[in-house]
Amino acid sequence: MDKFVIAISGKRKSGKDYCTNNSIKAFEKIQLSVSAVGISHSLKEEYAKIHNLNFAELLTDGPYKEQFRKDMIRWGEDVRNKIPSVFCRAALLSVDDSDIVIVSDCRRITDLEFFVRTIKLSQFVLRLSKSTDSNGDFDS
């Protein structure tokens, strides 16, 4: 079976992780192998290596990540300006032999373009948006 890629797109705090986690549960329930990868994970991993930082802490929402957020964003944009697909490629290279790959954080148009135009796999793009009156509760 060819890999099926689901690219989830949305702004920060729009529910991408919630959607990813529930999708994983649903696919596993019907016995499909599924992996979730994050473009930001590959960016954070490389940033941590270069700056000798704690990669695991950069994956959290805690204060450790916040102290590096602005510089990490600037650095990531500089890298993307040179090679737009670098973090997308790194994310896919981290995938095992799962039937389904969920890319949980396609925030930029260049990320989506990479999956739509460059990768010749089956794919589905899901764009999430959060209304301004939402309280951030995605359980309903």
Task: Name the band, by pLDDT with cuts 50, 70 and 90, for residue 1.
Answer: very low
CA distances from 102 to 62, 68, 72, 81, 121 (A): 24, 26, 23, 24, 13
Checking DSSP bridges between strand 4-9 and strand 122-127, what pairing results, if any?
parallel
- Domain ranges in the chain are 4-127
pLDDT tens column, 51-78:
999 999 999 889 999 999 999 999 999 9
Q: Is the pLDDT of residue 13 over 70?
A: yes
| Distance from C-alpha of 50 to C-alpha of 136, rounded to nearest angstrom | 34
Tell which wins on pLDDT, 20 or 14: 20
Task: Name the band, by pLDDT with cuts 50, 70 and 90, for residue 2.
Answer: low
| Distance from C-alpha of 11 to C-alpha of 17, rounded to nearest angstrom | 11
| Distance from C-alpha of 41 to C-alpha of 51, rounded to nearest angstrom | 15
Which amino acid, residue 54?
N
The answer, as to whether pTM is greater than 0.85, is no
Q: Are 7 and 110 in contact (CB under 8 A)?
A: no
CATH number attached to the domain at 4-127: 3.40.50.300
